[in-house]
A and B are shown apart, each in its own frame.
Chain A
Amino acid sequence: MSSITRPASITGRRLPNIWDAAALLFVFGALVALSNSARGTLVPLDALETSAITLDPRHLPDYALRTTLRMFAALAASLLFTFTYAPLAAKSRRAGLIMIPILDILQSVPVLGFLTFTIAFFMSLFPGRVMGLELAAIFAIFTSQAWNMAFSFYQSLTTLPSDLDEATKSFRLSGWQRFWRLEVPFAMPGLVWNTMLSMSAGWFFVVASEAITLGDNTWKLPGIGSYVALALEKQDVGAVFWAILAMLVVILAYDQLLFRPLVAWSAKFRFETTASATAPDPWVLALLRRTHVMRVAGDAVERVVGTVTGLRLSWPTFRAAPTRQSSRGGDMVFGAITAVIVAWAVWKIVVYVSDALSWGDVGEAFLLGLFTLLRVIILMAMASLIWVPIGVWLGLRPAWARRVQPVAQFLAAFPANLLFPPFVIVIVYYHLNADIFLTPLMVLGTQWYILFNVIAGAAAFPGDLQEAAQNFRVGGLLWWRRVILPGVFPYFVTGAITASGGSWNAAIVSEVASWGDSKLSAHGLGAYIAHATDAGDFHRIVLGVVVMSIYVVLFNRLFWRPLYAYSSRRTVM
């Protein structure tokens, strides 16, 4: 099963330390500086008004294409970031000290809250032109993709098998050769898996970032997201369903044409020396591997890639260093520089926040955060109660598991915000309580992670243990408590962590909803950030994002990671 690969956010250090605090302050100092410089440079864009979005379904293929292109532009940027940031952090001990906590914070931050700053920033780069908006949208997607990819690559780089590492050194491979022969291949399975998770997150953001409201201005880039936003304004149910259909087709295509083959192909790089049962090739990969023309083309590509990656671009850089302590002086200089930057960040934040906010605002944000936290916890519990038994039932029946697994993965990739409108229509129509009935939207897209991980766990449950349980006639509640739940627990935790992270992000778009003129809003930190964005209130956006980040980071560090460490300790023989 492909899902034995873990998302990058759950492994690693557990308890927060001083570097985490430094990283947190650093990230937000940068954020404040960005928003400070961007504020006031907002210029209305006239160009977009002329090429207005229409709800004619015939334009949908064009919109879908543009949306997809933005996705892939962001993906390319994310890969570039991954291949530079992660090696730098892995190879310099000092840089890693601060770069990794920064990455860790960034991947826990609700990126949707960034949107406002980045749009303001990019528009000030290209005043009055669509380019700024396009770049802002691509950047928004990038921020949802890059961190966990880089983190995954970093983790691979720091866990290279020592014998292969020694082999590359003793055969004197150059840095470039080592990168392509050892480091990238070893990281490949984790990287592909995290890229897939990133893409799912990306669809969510591309939809949210195309139609932008900032203060009094609203811009819509041509794309599915804008199409949906317009449909909501115009209360056009038919258009909403057309958009959902278009997205289904797009996701199906990218899933079948790109990721299925990629995941199957990356299995080749899995670090195991025993041959394990392999799933049949997905049809696209089979086509590529078995068609003669494709093979010839593939071989040619492989030859070129092999030659390029085999170039000795640098002299062997490895020199065995005598085992000694690292230089204290260097550490102190590095520490001092970090301290100065952090102090600057603190000063920036304090000045900025105290400008317009009081302690009361901070308290309010934390209280609203508590509401959202409560929602996340309740929903995770409910989703677990529903999907764990179903997942176990499916996973123990291979015929079913094979059929359902791809569907669950597909649903996890589908941008759930496209599915919000039908729910909103129902809530508005029946005048339901927004505080309660908007809540399920948070897990609409993320619950599937729980399902497909549990299916994978149950499917991988050892047959002999199952037989032993049957032999001793362990049944009923005892079977759940002693046999299957502990067995699928690590898988469940993996899925739940991904789902919980996604739910926080979804809060920003799911705690407020609108249908034509009727606006729905629940009490929570997500709604707080969303309202602040609508009002163009930079101070409250910063406050909201910071508070939410603190919640997410603490929730991850104090709850999920210990749980994950516990589960992986307990299930190893």
Chain B
Amino acid sequence: MDATVSTASLLEVRGCRQSYHKDSNADLLVLDDVNVTLKTGEIVGLLGRSGSGKSTLLRIVSGLLRPTAGEVFWRGGAVRGPVEGVAMVFQSFALFPWLTVQQNVELGLEAQGVARAERDKRAEEAIDLIGLGGFESAYPKELSGGMRQRVGLARALVVHPDLLLMDEPFSALDVLTAETLRTDLIDLWSDGKLPIKSILMVTHNIEEAVLMCDRILVFSSNPGRVASELAVPFPHPRNRLAPEFRQLVDDIYALMTRRAVKPAASLAPATPDTGFATPLHAVSTNLLAGLIEALAAPPYDGKADLPALAGSLQLEADELLPLGEAMQTLRLALLEEGDIHLTDAGRQFAEADTDTRKIIFGDALRAHVPLTAAIRRTLDERWNHRASAVRFRDELEDHMSPDYAEETLRAAIHWGRYAELFSYDEEADQFSLEDIDTPE
């Protein structure tokens, strides 16, 4: 890589790698070889599933986190900690409950040592700009979610940053509030009223990314990489219903499900040591059954376009994709190019009664989810039919971060309980075959 940094770019991320260190094993990669360049005057979206490392990248860019390898350059200088000129908006708003709206907004100015009179003036401007006039003396808990995120925005804008970082800023809000806030922000941006040069935002909402961004970086998971980069050529304000808009959304769905096809390639029967490394999402069996029923029924009749399905079921991509992947893991459905279609097992499941469903689900778990298969086999082998969950957790942690391991184990417990493959006692953190009918 050359040492000169082009002047047009505000921010450059070069060869960023973030790994999670585990004593016994090789490093687990969260981010791998990520390169991002951000120019003046653009809104860039980092789009990906939860756990694709996009939030980690945002924290690296903001200077809150140092990457394991690689460098971040801000205005040509290497980033070693939070830098001036970068402000962040948080998913959870991160407002201080004991400070009023005004005091929250002034926080960044206070940190810069701005005098009180100047602080008052600038805070007032930011508060008015973002539509919070009249709420200066309110405490955050008196405000609705949308108003709170407006405070978060005002707090970031008041320091006149060159770069605004937003970490899933609208995902904690209801649909209507989120939409209002998005369009308000885009209007201010288009009118040149925001005192900023660029925006870098993290989102898992495909439509949101297409609606707001000029450029979208789609992340793949495990480890997080920039899988593809798309330009959004539409002028603001954008129409969600325009055919080009829909087409782009469809394309992105296809991009995001393409990766998921990969594990289906290994159809080898489960053995105790393989397949443990596959992280599972602990999706509810209730939701799974509901989705399978919806898919089997008209108008879908077993095959659906994911964006359309997401729209009619009012699920976001981030909610729908884990469901689809779980169904794919269990071979109840297949994901392909933004479509989902039921397999024969899936159709049988849709038509079956509760007890038969449990049998189908149990068979799928034994055949296609090595972890649950291994738990059941261990229980069968033990004389007392008991096994501590700790050993499975430890084994999982050799292959993934503790959070993933916990989530994966939770999925195994939930699915195994539903299929009546085994019981689990939370108090003792132990699997057993209690209350399970074992065919002798």
Contacts and interface: CB of A to CB of B under 8 A. Distances in A.
B229 interface: no
Contact of B141 (A171, A272, A323): A272
Given A171-B108, A275-B141, A323 B66 contact: yes
A169 B82 contact: yes
B159 interface: yes
B88 interface: yes
Nearest to A271: B97
Contacts of A310: 110
B90 A167 contact: yes
Nearest to B63: A320
A161 B86 CA distance: 21
A319 B141 contact: no
Contacts of B59: 166
A457 to B, nearest CB: 22
Interface string B30-54: 0000000000000000000000000
A185 interface: yes
Interface string B221-241: 000000000000000000000
B81 interface: yes
Contacts of A319: 80-81
A273 B142 CA distance: 8
Contacts of B159: 171
Contact of B80 (A161, A275, A320, A324): A320
B226 to A, nearest CB: 21
A316 interface: yes
A172 interface: yes
A182 interface: yes
A173 B87 CA distance: 13
Interface residues of A, number: 38
Question: Which secondary structure characterizes the binding site on chain B?
Answer: loop
Interface in A151-206: 161, 163-164, 166-174, 177, 181-182, 185, 188
B111 A275 contact: no
A385 interface: no
Contacts of B94: 161, 163-164, 166-167
Contacts of A164: 94, 96
Contacts of B80: 319-320
B147 to A, nearest CB: 12
A274 B91 CA distance: 17
A270 interface: yes
B343 interface: no
A397 interface: no
Interface residues of B, number: 44
Given A169-B82, A171-B87, A163 B65 contact: no
Identify the interface centre among B80, B91, B98, B99: most chain A CB within 10 Å of its CB.
Answer: B98
A39 interface: no
Interface string B56-75: 00010011111110000000
Nearest to A310: B110
Interface in A250-297: 268-275
A177 B110 CA distance: 9
Contact of A324 (B21, B64, B93, B95): B21
Interface string A86-124: 000000000000000000000000000000000000000
Nearest to B152: A167
Contacts of B439: none
A166 B64 contact: yes
B111 A173 contact: yes
A318 interface: yes
Contacts of A177: 110-111
B299 interface: no
A330 interface: no
Interface string A536-573: 00000000000000000000000000000000010000
Contact of B21 (A171, A274, A323): A323
Contacts of A324: 21
B113 interface: yes
A322 interface: yes
Contacts of A272: 97, 141
B21 A182 contact: no
Given A270-B97, A316-B81, A170 B86 contact: yes
A271 B139 CA distance: 12
A323 B60 CA distance: 11
A170 B141 contact: no
A569 B84 CA distance: 44
Given A170-B88, A269-B98, A312 B111 contact: yes
A325 B148 CA distance: 38
B142 A275 contact: yes
A170 B62 contact: yes
Contacts of B155: 171
Interface string B158-171: 01000000000000
B24 interface: no
A273 B138 CA distance: 13
Contact of B68 (A161, A181, A274, A322): A322
A340 interface: no
Given A271-B97, A318-B81, A319-B81, A167 B111 contact: no
B96 A182 contact: yes
B90 A163 contact: yes
Interface in A13-41: none
A172 B141 contact: no
B107 interface: yes
Contacts of B7: none
A478 interface: no
B140 interface: yes
Contacts of B21: 323-325
A179 to B, nearest CB: 13
B286 interface: no
B68 A323 contact: yes
Contact of B63 (A170, A185, A273): A170
B4 interface: no
A307 B103 CA distance: 12
B142 A322 contact: no
Contacts of B86: 170
A321 interface: yes
A169 B81 CA distance: 9
A274 B94 CA distance: 14
A167 to B, nearest CB: 4
B25 interface: no
B63 A181 contact: no
A90 B19 CA distance: 26
A316 B67 contact: no
A322 B66 contact: yes
A173 B91 CA distance: 20
Interface string A27-66: 0000000000000000000000000000000000000000
Given A274-B141, A316-B82, A171 B111 contact: yes
Given A163-B90, A268-B98, A323-B68, A318 B82 contact: yes
B439 to A, nearest CB: 34
A172 B64 CA distance: 10
B384 interface: no
A427 to B, nearest CB: 46
Nearest to A566: B427
Contact of B88 (A167, A173, A569): A167
B438 interface: no
Contacts of B64: 166, 169-170, 320
B354 interface: no
Interface of A: 161, 163-164, 166-174, 177, 181-182, 185, 188, 268-275, 307, 310, 312, 316, 318-325, 569
Given A272-B141, A316-B82, 15 more contacts: A161-B94, A164-B96, A166-B64, A166-B88, A167-B90, A169-B82, A171-B87, A171-B108, A173-B110, A177-B111, A181-B110, A312-B113, A318-B82, A319-B81, A569-B427
List of 9 A-B pairs having minimum Cβ-Cβ separation, nearest first? A163-B94, A322-B66, A171-B108, A167-B94, A319-B81, A320-B66, A173-B111, A185-B98, A170-B88
7 contacts: A163-B91, A166-B59, A170-B86, A188-B98, A320-B64, A323-B21, A569-B427
